[in-house]
Structure 1
Amino acid sequence: MEQGIRMIRMRELGLGLLLASGLSMPAVAAEISPETTVKQIYSGKTPETKGIDIIGNAKLRAKYLSKDLAAAVKKDIDESAKSGEVGALDFDPVSDSQDPMIKDLKIEPASVQGDRAQVSVSFDRGDPKRDELVYDLVKENEQWRVSNISKKGNAQEAWSLRQMLSLK
């Protein structure tokens, strides 16, 4: 009888230790929000390096861009390298310029609908008015990825990365 009670207590102790160690719980990675994804894109330390190169750097393209957008960017880069001509992307869409300079970055809360989200950002580049960009994100493999970057404005100012790359 005493041996049976001792065995039950040993099992309880073992279960308690297991629970305390967290081994019985499956490890669940914290989901990164759409805003956090965009904040990571603008993680540079200085105004000149604030936006990371999610277009030219293949590893960053794979990490931050949706599969179809990453494929379209790669195709544009490859075709322009073959032809020697400038491709559809002749500027950095993250900084909306050819000479990146991002000061006073503001990232708005995301508008999320299911597996789609939209995040607006604005920053100062020294122009009279702030640059304002919109990031469309899609959830792929449980991660938020950029499916478009666009700039709103008049016909001369507005652009869409997907339209430039002939994606729908």
Structure 2
Amino acid sequence: MRLLAFASVAFFALTGLAAAQPFDTPEALLEAVYAPYFSGEFSEDEAEFRSEALNALFEADAENTPEGEMGALSFDPYIDGQDFEIANFEIGEPVIDGETATVDVSFTNFGEPRAITYDLVFEDGSWKIDDLAGENDEFSYRLTEIFAEAEAQ
């Protein structure tokens, strides 16, 4: 059923008929975040997906990174890697507590299982990513901690 919902979102995104923001459910937000990994059509600005606080971390990292250098992120945190071949994509049932939610996303990337937990916040009438954590056998991370470590150096 989730695959059908995801296919619908991808179709509307590709045909330009996608509903305008805001993202009224955590699932709608995460389907929009992952749609480009299936369509190949990435936006240059992902700020609409992120909370004000998370956007501030991305902006501070960009400002503190010398031109031509790599910032705090050396990988794509949404896929826990640099390259992608996503399959078996699933969005778990959101756990909503007022204006925050936690949602697990799982998939395989080049056949390797990946699990990412999203911390979301309902902000300005829309669900937004406030933080995320990836867990796999080789590397675990929390996005806000990566930015904090980079700022401390």
Q: TM-score, normalised by structure 2?
A: 0.73
Residue 93 of structure 2 is aligned to residue 113 of structure 1: no
Which of 87, 106, 114 is the aligned partner of 1:122? Answer: 106
- Give the count of matched residue pairs: 129
Residue 22 of structure 2 is aligned to residue 37 of structure 1: no
Find runs of 4+ consecutive structure 1 residues off by over 3 angstroms: none
Letter in 1 for 2:133: S
1:87 partner SS: coil
From the superposition, tell whether residues 31 and 38 of structure 1 become closer, same or farther in structure 2 (CA, over 3 Å): closer
Matches within 5 A, 1:21-100: 32-44=24-36, 46=38, 49=40, 52=42, 57-58=44-45, 60-61=46-47, 63-80=48-65, 82-100=66-84
Considering only aligned residues, what root-mean-square deviation do their CA atoms show, in Å? Answer: 2.5
Which of 95, 106, 128 is the aligned partner of 1:145? Answer: 128
From the superposition, tell whether residues 83 and 121 of structure 1 become closer, same or farther in structure 2 (CA, over 3 Å): same
What are structure 1's unaligned runs of at least 5 residues? 1-28
Larger C-alpha radius of gyration, 1 or 2?
A: 1
CA–CA distance in structure 1, aligned partners of residues 81 and 108 of structure 2? 12
CA–CA distance in structure 1, aligned partners of residues 129 and 23 of structure 2? 16
CA–CA distance in structure 2, aligned partners of residues 163 and 30 of structure 1? 27
Which residue of structure 2 lines up, in the alignment, with residue 26 of structure 1? none
CA–CA distance in structure 2, aligned partners of residues 125 and 45 of structure 1? 11
1:99 partner SS: coil
Contact 2:89–2:106, Cα closer than 8 Å, also in 1: yes
Letter in 2 for 1:94: Y
Identity of matched residues, %:
26
Contact 1:95–1:101, Cα closer than 8 Å, also in 2: no
Contact 2:22–2:127, Cα closer than 8 Å, also in 1: no
1:44 partner SS: helix
Residue 99 of structure 2 is aligned to residue 102 of structure 1: no
CA–CA distance in structure 2, aligned partners of residues 91 and 125 of structure 1? 13
Deviation at 1:95, TM superposition (A): 1.2
CA–CA distance in structure 2, aligned partners of residues 164 and 30 of structure 1? 28
Q: TM-score, normalised by structure 1?
A: 0.67
CA–CA distance in structure 1, aligned partners of residues 90 and 73 of structure 2? 24
